[in-house]
Structure 1
Amino acid sequence: MSRPTIHVETPGQARSVERALARVRSVAVDCEAAGYHRYSDRLCLVQLTAAGQTFVLDPLALDLAPHLRPFLEDPARVTIMHGAPYDLRLLHRDLGIRVGALTDTQVAASLLGEPAVGLQALLERHLGIRVSKRFQRADWASRPLPAEMIEYAAGDTRHLHRLAEILEARLEEAGRLSWAREEYRWLLDNSFDGGNEGPEPDPVARFKAARRLDDRSVTALREAIAWRDRIARERDRALFRVASDAALLAAARVRPPSVAALAALQGFPSRLAHQKGGALLKRFARVEGLPARELVPYPRPTTRGTRPDPEEEAAFERVKEVRNAAAGRLGLDRGRVMANQVLREVVAAMPGDRAGLAAVAEVRRWQVDVMGGELLDALWKRAAG
Structure 2
Amino acid sequence: MTVYFHEEDLPAGALADGPVAVDTETMGLVTTRDRLCVVQISDGGGDEHLVRFKNDSAYDAPNLKAVLADPDRVKLYHFARFDLAAIEHYLGVMAAPVFCTKIASKLTRTYTDRHGLKNLVQELLGEDMSKAQQSSDWGADTLTPAQQDYAASDVRFLHRMRDILEVRLEREGRTEMAQACFDFLPARARLDIAGWAEHDIFSHM
- TM class by shorter-chain length? 0.7 to 0.9
Partner of 2:51: 57
- Matched AA of 1:58: R
Deviation at 1:75, TM superposition (A): 1.8
Report the CA distance shift for 1:183/1:34 in structure 2 as closer, same or farther (over 3 A).
same
Unaligned runs of 5+ in 2: none
- Percentage of pairs with the same residue: 32
Partner of 2:145: 147
Q: CA RMSD in A?
A: 2.4
Report the CA distance shift for 1:72/1:114 in structure 2 as closer, same or farther (over 3 A).
farther
CA distance in 1, matches of 2:126, 2:106: 19
Partner of 1:74: 70
- Matched AA of 2:155: T
- Matched AA of 1:126: L
- What SS does the aligned partner of 1:29 have? strand
Work out whether 1:108 is the aligned partner of 2:104.
yes
Deviation at 1:63, TM superposition (A): 3.5
| Contact kept? 2:87, 2:93, Cα under 8 Å | yes
Partner of 1:191: 189
More strand by share: 2
Bigger radius of gyration? 1
CA distances 1:302-339 after superposition (whole Å, capped 9, x unpaired): xxxxxxxxxxxxxxxxxxxxxxxxxxxxxxxxxxxxxx
Partner of 2:90: 94
CA distance in 2, matches of 1:10, 1:194: 23
Unaligned runs of 5+ in 1: 198-339, 349-385
Partner of 1:233: none
CA distances 1:68-127 after superposition (whole Å, capped 9, x unpaired): 222211221100000111111100011101123000000000001151111000100111
Partner of 1:123: 121
CA distance in 2, matches of 1:64, 1:29: 18
CA distance in 1, matches of 2:158, 2:193: 29
- Matched AA of 1:195: A
CA distance in 2, matches of 1:65, 1:109: 32
CA distances 1:206-264 after superposition (whole Å, capped 9, x unpaired): xxxxxxxxxxxxxxxxxxxxxxxxxxxxxxxxxxxxxxxxxxxxxxxxxxxxxxxxxxx
For residue 30 of structure 1, the aligned residue among 23, 29, 32 is 23
Aligned length: 194
CA distance in 2, matches of 1:126, 1:43: 30
More helix by share: 1
CA distance in 1, matches of 2:101, 2:184: 15
CA distance in 2, matches of 1:81, 1:102: 7
